[in-house]
Every structure is written in structure tokens, then in C-alpha cells.
Structure 1
Amino acid sequence: MGMNSIAQFPQFTPLSLSHKTIVTETYNSLKIPTSHRLFSNLFITDTDNSTHIARLNNNIIIDRGLYTNHEGVMICGENATSETLETVLRNDVKFVELSSIKTFDSKVDLDNSDYIYSTGKVALLEGSTYSNIRRKIRLPREVCTVGVVENDKVDEIWEMFEKWERENPLKKDILEREALEKALQFIDHLEIEYVGVYNNNLLVGFAGVEVTNHQHLMIHFIKAQTEIVGLSEFLFWQLAIMYRDRTTTINFEQDLGIVGLRQFKESLRPDIIQPVYTIASAKIV
């Protein structure tokens, strides 16, 4: 389905699987993409069917249902940026996420900015920058193996995730659970691949990843049992090794302001944190 299958802003169309091609084409045209504009992210996080999209100046306006009456949106596209923003804000929109585009009096939304790593650097782990990671992965290097989880064995992913939830009750996140459930349900329609870590032939960790047109490795999910120290770092390193011939960077997405998640992603030594800019309507009145 093409752009004309989407309602013209300020009208909106509910997001569906049929919009995968046009949203992906628009995402692929971005010079500096951000993770939550990727179709798979929009689709799997839309667990209550509240995400709607509209077209404007060959851009896609996305309402993820976080605000009432389409009052908060984000723009996917880089066409006629100023005109698009002004049109959006004239239609009672109070808040706009601009992705990597800085304009007017926009400000950085650090909680939703992406952690970006060099695939090649992480694969090698050379130098003092990565000394802490090298130390942490010593045990899993000795006792674990890594491999792709085939689609007909994804039940193992869900079983391991539920085990992780039982062992980490304070870290349970209903939105993450619902997103993973939807991702597995539509596994044959999305580009997400699953990589598993095994200890004595038992799945003890997994990652859900996607290679984008920008040669980015997008990490949607990563979970690891806590009994083996350094397992998450080991899996992150193995992902870099597995995908370094197909990607140049790893996008570990946002930390959402969660302190523990921010500390973990910072400990993996990102090259940059790709900023996401936002603007409120009052800024350009």
C-alpha cells in the first residue's frame, strides 16, 4: 500500500500490517533514523491498537496513542520540514517529536535518544575502553554457545522470558511483555531475528534484532539469566561478531529514563547517543 492509503493530516488512519511497506520506505529515506520510527517498533508496541498515522508533505505523522485527540505526534520524514511542523502545530497538536532534526527551540529528549555503538569495535573489544567488558565475559565465553533461534522454536524464547520475569519480579514490564508477545505472534511478518545463548543446551539468554537498510543492527529485546555473570555483555559482544559483515553500527535504542537500563547501556561504551528532539507548540507561537 502506498502513501495514498493513509489519511491526509489532520485525519488519521489506524496503523496496520498493511502499512509496513510505506512506513519502511519512509524510514529508509531518513538521513539519520531513530529506532522508534522503524515499522517493527511501531507495530509491536501498538498492543492496544492506539497508534494512528497520517500523511503530510510526503512525510508520515505518527500518533502512538500517548496523548488524547492526536495532541502529541512524531514526524517520520524529512520533506518540507518547517512547513510540515508549522502545519502540524496549527492543528491543536501540543507536542511534536522531531527525531534527529533540530529546529526552532527544540530540545533534546535524552530518555528517548538512541545508544549507538560501532559493530566493528564491539566485535574486537580492543583497548582500555572495553577492558571491563572483556573481564565480565570471561565465564560465559567458557560455558556458553550462541546460535540463531529458528522460527519453529520461538516457544523457547517465551518460556525463557517468563522464567526471567519470575526471577526478576521488580523488573517486570507489562509493556515489554506485550510487545514481545506480539513480536513472536507476527514473527513471519516482521524482520526480527532471534539469537539465543545456550548453556548445556538450555536457552539462558536471547536477543531480538533487526538489520535495517541503514546497516544498523537494531536490538529490540535482550534478556539473560542472572546466574551466569556477564551473560548480557557476552550476548551483546556475540551479536557484534555475528552481524559485523552486514552492519556498521548497533542501535540499542533508548533507556526510557530507567536508571539501571541507562547504566547498563552506558557501560557498553556507546560511540554516541543519537539525540531525539522535541518541541511544544508554545515555542513557535
Structure 2
Amino acid sequence: MHEWFEEHNHPFLMKGVTPAAVERIKALCEDCYDFTPDRDNYEYVYLTQSLINLSGKKFRQKKNNLNHFRNQYIGNWEYVPITEDIFDECLEAEKTWYNQHEDGDDDNELLGERHAIETVFNNWSVLQPTGGAIRMYNKIVAFSIGEMLNDDTAIIHFEKSDPTIRGLYQAINHEFVVHAWGHTTYINREEDMGIPGLRHSKESYNPDHFVEKYDVTLRQK
């Protein structure tokens, strides 16, 4: 591996290295590498039951927003699993979300995510993820996509909702966990990529712990 970096005239760098992998690398040569925490790529892990129950003061605002949505739109919304017959509607909802958020500092990340979402829908039968959506007034306005990561943890890859509808984000978050992941212990909602708004959103759901990630570089001698 070192030879490849030297051949291409790049400094040695490994990203996304987990604590377990760090220990294995240290066992090979503890004094050869430096390990730098990469906070932007820490994965947020939540207790499933905490996301379902939203109990206590730390979830009060989330529960208030969720209850507002339920009361304001009673009888005018429904949760539906994502199946092939609503793929186009979900992609239209994603397009609307993207148009509301483009022209920001993180345009490249948003465009990359958009392409990734389209790839998932175009290869749904091969990838076999699990998805859920909220329909309001006969229109898909929010959706979420995830899969089982291991025996006790589900991972949420994508989640989009119309930001103009108060409580909708809390609703799709809650409904998807209730309907798809109630049997799990943990929900992994991936990293925030250093995007301030995304970090605030993920922190506001009170993670149980993080999956830490490290950058690994050669120690200068």
C-alpha cells in the first residue's frame, strides 16, 4: 500500500479508520503512524426505543413538533412503505428538496447525495433496502431509506422531508423507526460531514454513542 502512494507521489493517508482497526494497525507498528480523530465522519448511533418514545425533557421539542404535525394534518397524511409504484413520487420529492437547498456551501455534497439516491432507486431490487414515506394530500412529501447493518443495528442512509411543513421531519423519522426498525436495539444515522445544520440536527436527537473514525498518516521521523 505504501508503494502505491509513493509511486503516485501522494502522502500516505487512510480515512474512515475505526477504533478496532486502529488497534490492529498499532499492533503491527505502534510507532509508525499518527492517528487523528475525524469528527466530521463520526457516525451517530441512537437507542431505537429513545427515538420511538421521545421521552423526557431532552426530546420535548421533538415531541411537540411531532404532535403539532399529527394534530394539524389529522386525516390528511399516511405512512406508506416504499415500493416500486411510488419510486417516481419519491424522486420528485427529492428533486423538490434539492431545489430548496441548492446554491449553498455544500452543493457538491448535495449533488453527490442526489445521484446516490437515484442510484438506489434504480437498483432497488438488487440492493434490497427498506424504505418508508409520508403521503400528504395524495403527494409524497418525505421519505427515508435504510437497511440492517448488523444483528442489532439498522442504518439510515437517506432521509428527506419538506422543510416548510412543521413536524414533518420528526414524523418521517419517528414513523420509519416504528414501522421498520422497532425490533432493533440501535439506529445508526451516519455522519454529519461537518455540515453545521446537519450536525445540529443529529445532535438534537441525543445520540447514545458514536462510531469514531480516524485519519491515519505516516509518522514523520
Does TM-score exceed 0.5, indicating one fold?
yes
Q: 2 CA distance for matches of 1:68 and 1:165?
A: 37
Q: Which runs of 5+ in 2 are unaligned?
A: none
| TM-score between both structures, scaled by the size of structure 2 | 0.81
Identity %: 24
Partner amino acid, structure 1, of 2:61: N
Deviation at 1:254, TM superposition (A): 0.3
Q: 1 CA distance for matches of 2:209 and 2:9?
A: 33
Render the CA deviation track for 1:224-281: whole Å, top value 9, x for unaligned.
0122112112211122212343311111100000001001111112112221122211
Partner amino acid, structure 2, of 1:151: E
Within the candidate set 30, 38, 49, 1:120 is matched to 49
Within the candidate set 28, 33, 36, 1:107 is matched to 36
Determine whether 1:156 maps to 2:89. yes
Partner amino acid, structure 1, of 2:143: F
Report what 1:259 is aligned to: 196
Report what 2:208 is aligned to: 271
Conserved in 2, the CA contact under 8 Å of 1:114 and 1:274? yes
1:136 aligned counterpart, secondary structure: helix
- Counterparts in 2 of 1:80 and 1:126: CA distance versus 1, 3 Å: closer
| TM-score between both structures, scaled by the size of structure 1 | 0.64
Conserved in 1, the CA contact under 8 Å of 2:14 and 2:215? no
Residue correspondence of structure 1 range 21-100 to structure 2 within 5 A: 71-74=12-15, 81-82=24-25, 86=29
2:103 aligned counterpart, secondary structure: helix
Residue correspondence of structure 1 range 137-148 to structure 2 within 5 A: 137-142=66-71, 143=73, 144-148=77-81
- Counterparts in 2 of 1:78 and 1:262: CA distance versus 1, 3 Å: closer
Residue correspondence of structure 1 range 150-229 to structure 2 within 5 A: 150-170=83-103, 172=107, 173-229=110-166
- Counterparts in 2 of 1:245 and 1:261: CA distance versus 1, 3 Å: closer
- Counterparts in 2 of 1:177 and 1:227: CA distance versus 1, 3 Å: same
- Counterparts in 2 of 1:85 and 1:262: CA distance versus 1, 3 Å: farther
Q: How many residues align?
A: 209
Report what 1:133 is aligned to: 62
1:188 aligned counterpart, secondary structure: helix
Conserved in 2, the CA contact under 8 Å of 1:233 and 1:268? no
Conserved in 1, the CA contact under 8 Å of 2:89 and 2:139? no
Q: 2 CA distance for matches of 1:176 and 1:68?
A: 30
Q: 2 CA distance for matches of 1:199 and 1:11?
A: 56
Higher relative contact order (CA 8 A, sep 6+): 2
Q: 1 CA distance for matches of 2:98 and 2:9?
A: 31
Q: Over the residues paired in the alignment, what is the CA RMSD in angstroms?
A: 3.1
Conserved in 2, the CA contact under 8 Å of 1:108 and 1:278? yes
Conserved in 1, the CA contact under 8 Å of 2:39 and 2:213? yes
Deviation at 1:222, TM superposition (A): 0.6
Q: 2 CA distance for matches of 1:268 and 1:140?
A: 18
Q: 2 CA distance for matches of 1:85 and 1:197?
A: 50
Conserved in 1, the CA contact under 8 Å of 2:40 and 2:192? yes
Q: 1 CA distance for matches of 2:205 and 2:145?
A: 18
